[in-house]
């Protein structure tokens, strides 16, 4: 089954404790992205990756890091989480197409709480 | 800068029609529409490209006015399953750099 998986699905942590949220897709997609969703603000892109070792900032990259060492994986790293990073996080992938226009497949989401 | 969606929320009875608008102050190369049901991930509905090409859903249609930098999503004869939050996304030239609006909450009642 074609899917995007994220782990963990729920995480409660404390300020300053480094964490990683994993994302993996089995569709051989070139492009992957991370979004955060907050009430009233919609979906905001954090980082995206066009292929292995190629990443770029989205609209809200501060406080986050990413890496793309393998095509299927795109982990999101919070080196020193703060309470304002409490949010619902989605990973997404897309195969791209002509000009890169194609549907994105979203993972199930990771709900992060930073106390 | 996020695209602006209107209305923020709409309540319908089953069978009624609805229009959701999306406007951007930045150039639109493509417009993407997604629907998210409560507690679930967003799901793709449609992409509209400059030049009029459209890819997407069978029962939902949309328009893309390049001059006005606007798009509208048309939901006709709404069904209960249409309930959810609808997001439009603006692409500035590639799919992977996508900026979404804040969403429109659509509720369809029996």
Nearest Cα of chain A lies from the Cα of B37 at a distance, in angstroms, of 12
Q: How far is A76 from chain B (nearest CA, A)?
A: 16
pLDDT of residue A85: 98
Per CB-CB distance under 8 Å, the chain B contacts of A42 are 2, 87, 100-103
Query: Looking at beta carbons, which residues of chain B come within 8 Å of A61?
Result: none
CB pair distance less than 8 Å for A108 and B41: yes
Q: Regarding beta strands B84-91 and B98-100, do their DSSP bridges make them parallel or antiparallel, or are they unpaired?
A: antiparallel
Q: pLDDT value at position B57? A: 65
Tell me what the mean pLDDT of segment A39-52 comes to: 92
CA A48 from centroid of its chain's CA atoms: 8
Summarize pLDDT for A57-102 with one digit per residue, the tens: 999 999 999 999 999 999 999 999 999 999 999 999 988 665 556 7
Q: Higher pLDDT residue, B94 or B38?
A: B38
**Tokens, residue B83:** 């309930």
How many CB atoms are located within 10 Å of the residue B106 CB?
A: 21
Q: How far is B34 from chain A (nearest CA, A)?
A: 9
Mean pLDDT of B77-96: 85
Percent of chain B beyond pLDDT 70?
88
Q: Which of B31, B25, B29 is nearest to B73 (CA)?
A: B31
Mean pLDDT rounded to a whole number for chain B: 88
User: Hey, are the CB atoms on B87 and A50 less than 8 Å from each other?
Assistant: no
Q: How confident is the model at residue B56 (pLDDT cuts 50, 70, 90)?
A: low
Question: How confident is the prediction for chain A on average, in pLDDT?
Answer: 93
């Amino acid at each position: 089954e074609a899917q995007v998986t994220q782990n963990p699905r729920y995480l409660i942590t404390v300020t300053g404790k480094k964490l990683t949220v994993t994302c993996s897709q089995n569709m051989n997609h070139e492009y992957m992205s991370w979004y955060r969703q907050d009430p009233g603000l919609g979906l905001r892109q954090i980082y995206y990756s066009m292929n292995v070792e190629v990443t770029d900032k989205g609209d809200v990259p501060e406080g986050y890091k990413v890496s793309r060492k393998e095509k299927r994986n795109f982990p999101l790293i919070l080196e020193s989480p703060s309470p304002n990073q409490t949010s619902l996080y989605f990973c997404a992938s897309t195969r791209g197409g002509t000009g890169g226009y194609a549907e994105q497949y979203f993972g199930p989401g990771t709900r992060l709480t930073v106390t | 800068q996020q695209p602006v969606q209107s209305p923020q929320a709409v309540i319908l009875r089953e069978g009624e029609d609805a229009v959701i608008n999306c406007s951007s102050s930045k150039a639109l190369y493509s417009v993407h529409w997604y629907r998210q049901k409560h507690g679930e991930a967003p799901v793709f509905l449609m992409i509209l490209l400059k030049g009029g090409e459209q890819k997407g859903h069978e029962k939902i249609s949309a328009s893309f006015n390049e001059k006005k930098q606007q798009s509208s999503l048309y939901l006709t004869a709404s069904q209960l399953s249409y309930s959810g939050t609808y997001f439009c996304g603006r692409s500035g030239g590639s799919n992977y750099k996508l900026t979404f609006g804040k969403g429109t909450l659509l509720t369809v009642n029996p």
